[in-house]
Structure 1
Amino acid sequence: MSTVGVRVPATSANLGPGFDAMGLALDWYDELTLTPERELIVEVTGEGADRVPLDKRHLVVATIRRGLRAFGDDPDRGFRLRCTNTVPHSRGLGSSAAAIAAGYGLAWGLARPDQAPDLDWICDLASEDEGHPDNAAAAVHGGAVLAWGRSDAAEDAAPGTVTGVARLQLDPRVRVRVWIPEFELPTAQARQVLPETLPRPQVIAQASRAALLVHALAQAPELLHEATFDWLHQQQRGSLMPRSLDLLHRLRAAGVAAVVSGAGPTVLALGTVEQLAAAQEIAHTGFAAHDLAIGGGLEVNAG
């Protein structure tokens, strides 16, 4: 085996009411290659090239080594890792989930080059690393997903993370637009402001909108605006990203189904081409707008 290559998408988690449970892959990809060497060599171009560590602390390197151990191979073997990064970092577009999924994909290709990757196993490992399965499941499986830890509500469940994933049906008319600001927001900081409890009426409302979102994505895009309302996390994070929340409110006031992408600060909208056209009139100074389609999942090529 000479080289392993992977392609992994950007993702958006939550999609409004589906907090820590729903994710969407976007057609925006990082590409990485791994070649066996006598020692570790890390090369990064694009996003993060001037900031990420170029040694064993690199997130993809650490994940590769965990994956090699899990897949029955030598975790200390040397290799050259080349990362071509396009997914923005710390913007709510799943860059860490992409790095983790890519690392496990590369480890699989190195340890088991003659076998098709076990995406369910990779998703389990990536979800455990991330701490929640929404971005990880979307990065590995692609499309729109509903993901959960099977032991979440079972007091007598065996320890360990086992991820359940349901691939959601998508109306082919659904498209995505994102507005990416120049400022960053670390996910850990965004989680610190979330409430521990919600009043019962808000819990009921959140659950009903999350259920409606599954239906709206599958066959009723006209309901996406109603289906993407959230009571749990977006308003609470407003003080950390006031410009993002302002853009979100202006888009929703215009009838656009806009949400905070993941932990933010990127704003994302779902809809048909006609529905997203209403966003053209909304000023977005300080944000770069991109029109995207739904993305595929992790691809591993070993040869």
Structure 2
Amino acid sequence: MTKALNDIAFSMLDLVPVREGATVADALAVSLRTARHAERLGFTRYWLAEHHNMAGIASSATAVLVGHIAGGTERIRVGSGGVMLPNHPPLTVAESFGTLAELYPGRIDLGLGRAPGTDPMTMRALRRDRVETVEDFPREVAELQHLLDEPRPGQKLIANPGAGTRVPIWLLGSSLFSAQLAAERGLPYAFASHFAPAMLMEAIEVYRRAFKPSAQCAQPYLVIGVPLVAAPTDAEATYLASSIFQRVLGILRGARGKLPPPQEHYLDHLSPQERLGIADFLACAVIGGPDKVRAGLQTLARETGCDEMMFTCDVYDPALRLRSLDIATQVRGGA
């Protein structure tokens, strides 16, 4: 399934990175500025991702941030990429996103994940005494769909706000589980290839093969996560991407921190095993000057046949982050 690059929607996934030497307030301001820039570029949606107990990520109160970004923009769709459903009762999620849908009609998305988005200690703090089983996520997705739909005669539990808003639900994942569930429910699907690309092609095949049309989706709709760092030259892009390389190596070592500034020749100082670990993590990354970015995006489009690319762009300098989005938009227009 081949698609031209200029037929693919561009969107943004923001973890609201907190930079070394900066504050959470700074990170929140950068995110709003980035969302407004993405809107000017014609991006389709801007999503925020739920994470907890991480000093370098300020997106834990995801619904609050969705409202902040939606309130600071005019047209772009805003949503969660995603809310980690095991951490929240479906009624609470329905009421929160139902409220957002009433405030910003036709602009809110609800992406759902089944991972906790945090460490075991914080997971226990969020869930208290609750123990999650494999059957819970499909049941809770169905409950959430029910709460966001029009109330049925005699229905006693009603999300207010929420009922009747039919906020579009997306399933997110990095394995085959959510791909299969999204296909069975006829839901759009976003694969987390921005950090876990290993099963991308297999998940796409499962999703498309098993897809059953629904009221929300008549046919499969696929989003892929793409780490992006674009610059006028390949050398500068690689230099800027060293902030991401440092962050990824920290994740692999179990030492998460704030987003660090770039370092010259960073990869040269690492062992072969460390470089391989970073390369595997960022297998779907597109890093380079305009020609390399165009080629990288075209390759992903050709190999996946995706409907939409959702960029993560953790460049240390906020202005150069915006420039990366400019370059990606420019090469799509010239593809």
TM-score band, normalised by shorter chain = under 0.3
Bigger relative CO (Cα 8 Å, ≥ 6 apart): 1
Per residue, is there more strand in 1 or in 2? Answer: 1
Per residue, is there more helix in 1 or in 2? Answer: 2
Q: What's the TM-score once normalised by structure 2's chain length?
A: 0.24
Q: What's the TM-score once normalised by structure 1's chain length?
A: 0.26
